[in-house]
Chains A and B, each alone.
Chain A
Amino acid sequence: GAGVSQTPSNKVTEKGKYVELRCDPISGHTALYWYRQSLGQGPEFLIYFQGTGAADDSGLPNDRFFAVRPEGSVSTLKIQRTERGDSAVYLCASSPQGRTEAFFGQGTRLTVV
């Protein structure tokens, strides 16, 4: 079956602009995670959804970052007033209910110029 799909693959935006990154999880997976990966680093947790609600958003760096998952499937990560320091690969992962395995998408490479 299809894996986790993230769009766009690459996004270049100007400093101060607003961006939306989309994640389409594996069908039926109830848990969805957003991570951020800087060059040469491991993924860092941002936010986790169980169904439609954000179960843990403690990793969001500041209030410019927001994520939604209105119907418990697709999720959108929204970044306002982008800064050059937001440049990174944004990864999405999903897990089935009651299972620990997490499956990642290919990521969205965000570059803020």
Chain B
Amino acid sequence: QQQVKQSPQSLIVQKGGIPIINCAYENTAFDYFPWYQQFPGKGPALLIAIRPDVSEKKEGRFTISFNKSAKQFSLHIMDSQPGDSATYFCAARPSGNTPLVFGKGTRLSVIA
């Protein structure tokens, strides 16, 4: 059973566009929802994270939208750049230091 479902699997956008990546979860005990960015040959890097007590969080060009009732959250990248081309993973976990559960990833390509 996949606890965090991520879509789409891949995404191509023009430079300046706003790619949106979606994730859905089932476990209502999850209360921490990070997004990671991974470049080829590198480990995942924490990008932005949200807790369910807020519906939106912005950090620079990255925004998380969170819908607790629908058990869904999404990543929006404003004014996307070719340097944003990477694989993005959503994740979730209950409170504390328990392990993260990851989605399968979205490969984003931003073309000039």
Q: Point out residues on A near B: beta carbons under 8 Å.
A: 4, 6, 30-31, 33, 35, 40-45, 48, 50, 55-56, 59, 91, 93, 95, 97-107
Q: Point out residues on B near A: beta carbons under 8 Å.
A: 6, 32, 34, 36, 41-46, 49, 89, 91, 93, 95-105
Contact partners of A59 in chain B: CB under 8 A? 99
Contact partners of A98 in chain B: CB under 8 A? 97
Task: Evaluate whether A105 and B98 lie within 8 angstroms (CB atoms) in the complex, with A42-B103, A100-B49 already known.
Answer: no
| Contact (Cβ within 8 A) B100 A102 | yes
- Cross-chain contact of B97 among A31, A35, A45, A91 (Cβ < 8 A): A31
Tell me the nearest residue of chain B to A44, going by C-beta.
Answer: B102
User: What number of residue pairs across chains A and B have CB atoms under 8 A from each other?
Assistant: 66
Task: Evaluate whether A48 and B46 lie within 8 angstroms (CB atoms) in the complex, with A42-B89, A42-B103 already known.
Answer: no
Task: Evaluate whether A56 and B98 lie within 8 angstroms (CB atoms) in the complex, with A43-B44, A100-B49, A100-B93 already known.
Answer: yes
List 19 additional contacts besides A30-B97, A100-B97, A106-B43; criterion CB under 8 Å: A33-B99, A33-B100, A40-B105, A41-B104, A42-B6, A42-B89, A42-B105, A43-B89, A44-B102, A50-B97, A56-B99, A91-B43, A99-B97, A100-B34, A100-B96, A102-B46, A104-B36, A105-B43, A106-B42
| Contact (Cβ within 8 A) B43 A48 | no
Q: Which 4 pairs, one residue from A and one from B, show the smallest C-beta to C-beta distance?
A: A42-B102, A104-B43, A31-B97, A45-B99
